[in-house]
Amino acid sequence: MRAVGDHVTAAMAAAAVVVVVGSGCREKPTSRVLSSEQKEAARQADLDPVIEVALGGDIRMKMVLVPPGTFTMGSPPGEPGRGDDETQHEVSIPRPFYLAVHEVTQRQFARFVRQTGYVTRAERDGWSYAWDGKTWGRRAKARWRTPGFPQRGADPVVCVSWNDAVAFCEWLSGKAGAEVRLPTEAEWEYACRAGTTSAYFWGDDPDSGGACCNGAGRDEGAVAAGTTFAWQDGHRHTAPVGSFESNAWGLYDMHGNVWEWCADWYRDDAAAPETGPIEGALRVVRGGSWMYGPRQLRSAKRHASAPSNRTTGIGFRCVRTADAR
């Protein structure tokens, strides 16, 4: 398994929402209402289905309740791009949790830095890995404020390591009055799928997505993944969060925009039974990014990356524990 972004990479909801497999989606996002599953989970647990965490000033983070359930994690044999670390197995999510609707943005991360004085790993070392259109490499001065391409406050923060993401979550826990953390990869895939079993939330055909996500489209030309979607998404780098359609649970950019750090250590077989704490050298990232093509943006796709790694294609989103009122 190759780590994303370092030397060993390969080139490196008022009514229920139903996702119809193969139906595609619109290029511009619509106002998504909660699904019936989310509403019922909130009712049964006496929880708010949607919450907002105040970060200070007028900056907030919106989160939706992800219902408990059981799903098949991994991909079926024959799915294009399937890796040998995607063995299908049943996973139970026993309790509801809140997941951020969007990836952590530049503006949100800037608030954290202003309040804490935090210095990221890239800032300390003076570089991040970046894709220049042809190769991956260390780029001097590439960091979250200046990744090497224009970003707006609503764009996802990049050039952040796993440790930087954890530090943000620890700070946000104080704001939320409850534990905030990175999602496990099982939670991440369960939330990404939102009840679907197809390669993407819109179906199995990547090109029926009609620009459902910010991935490597025809407008990008040569990309890290080597292949592109057939459509154009209008963004050569990151896109403001929520620029495309959400999945059935109101979660945006689960496919593409930036890879997202997960809490887990990476292991070759995600289906292997856990008998105790699993530790290793690499952490899990999920979801693919703006510079990758269809095979890397699938719901089941797993990648590994060193905790200290930071690239112009990796960011994160947050989980908040859900406690009854």
CA dist 142 and 127 (Å) reads 5
Secondary structure (3-state) at 108: helix
pLDDT of residue 211: 72
132 assigned to some structural domain: yes
Using alpha carbons, list the distances in angstroms from residue 283 to 109, 130, 163, 209, 244. Answer: 21, 19, 10, 29, 27
The reply to whether 20 falls in a domain is no
| 287 in any annotated domain | yes
**Residue 282 to residue 2: CA distance in whole angstroms:** 10
Q: What is the CATH number of the domain that holds 116?
A: 3.90.1580.10
* 26, 158, 247 from 50: Cα distances, Å: 24, 26, 16
How many independent structural domains does the chain possess? 1
Give me the pLDDT at residue 7, please.
Answer: 30
Give the model confidence (pLDDT) of 63-73 as tens digits. 999 999 999 99
Identify the three-state secondary structure at position 305: strand
3 belongs to a structural domain: no
Q: pLDDT tens-digit profile of 177-212? A: 999 999 999 999 999 999 999 999 999 999 988 778
Q: CA–CA separation, 146 vs 153, rounded Å?
A: 12
Question: pLDDT at position 134, please?
Answer: 80
Whether 146 is covered by a domain: the verdict is yes
Does 18 fall in a domain? no
Q: Kindly report the number of other CB atoms within 10 A of residue 57's CB atom.
A: 9
CA separation for the pair 254, 247 (Å, rounded)? 8
* Residue 280 belongs to domain spanning: 36-321
Of the candidates 268, 309, 315, the residue with the CA atom closest to the CA atom of residue 291: 315
Please measure the distance between the N-terminal and C-terminal CA atoms of the chain and give it in whole angstroms. 43
Residue 222 — very low, low, confident or very high, per pLDDT cuts 50/70/90?
low
Residue 25 resides in a domain = no
